[in-house]
């Protein structure tokens, strides 16, 4: 399924506010509510919309220490990589885990309360995984941009 300009508008609006009513969504895209709802359902069925979530405020939860951690594994065999991937998905502090190219094998985004909490995470959880050989940590000092909305127009711009 390919999506058109109206579908992209719907995706952009829903990425900004997933709780918008169908009537308001329809008004904003200049359509009546029934076809708007059908388009949303089609986007959901075809996997363009994966889920609806609430974005929590990290400061309200006491999370003020964010780090990016490059992880290098001891071995690169399938079993070791799979063991690491399975273990890392069970660590609540890990918000993102990316299998990457370059000097490291994985890049993690980790959330903690503070530096001592991060140190505890590293010493008792991350380096306790037998597959981990080396870590390189980058501490986030401040965030200039944090976007959850995916750009929907990039593919269209490349076609022109």
* Burial (Cβ within 10 Å: 0-12, 13-18, ≥19) of residue 145: exposed
| Tens-binned pLDDT, residue by residue, of the chain (160 aa) | 899 999 999 999 999 999 999 999 999 999 999 999 999 999 999 999 999 999 999 999 999 999 999 999 998 889 999 999 999 999 999 999 999 999 999 999 999 999 999 999 999 999 999 999 999 999 999 999 999 999 998 766 555 5
Three-class DSSP category at 142 = coil
Q: What is the pLDDT of residue 155?
A: 61
Domains of the chain and any CATH numbers: 5-54 (1.10.10.10), 65-139 (3.30.70.920)
Q: What is the pLDDT of residue 1?
A: 82
Three-class DSSP category at 141 = coil
pTM over 0.85: yes
Total length of the chain: 160
CA-based max dimension of the chain: 58
The tokens for 108 are 């993690």
Contacts of 27 (CB under 8 A, 6+ apart): none
């Amino acid at each position: 399924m390919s999506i058109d300009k109206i579908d992209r508008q719907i995706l952009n609006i829903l990425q900004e506010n997933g709780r918008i009513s169908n009537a308001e969504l329809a008004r904003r895209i200049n359509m009546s509510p029934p076809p708007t709802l059908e388009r949303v359902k089609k986007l959901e069925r075809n996997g363009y919309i994966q889920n609806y979530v609430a974005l929590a405020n990290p400061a309200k939860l006491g999370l003020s220490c964010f780090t990016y951690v490059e992880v290098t594994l001891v071995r690169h065999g399938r079993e070791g990589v799979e063991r690491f991937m399975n273990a890392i998905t069970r660590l609540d502090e890990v918000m993102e885990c990316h299998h990457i190219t370059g000097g490291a094998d994985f890049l993690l985004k980790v959330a903690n309360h503070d530096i001592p909490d991060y140190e505890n995470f590293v010493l008792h959880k991350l380096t306790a995984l037998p597959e981990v050989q080396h870590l390189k940590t980058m501490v986030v000092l401040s965030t200039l941009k944090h976007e959850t909305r995916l750009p929907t127009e990039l593919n269209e711009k490349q076609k022109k």
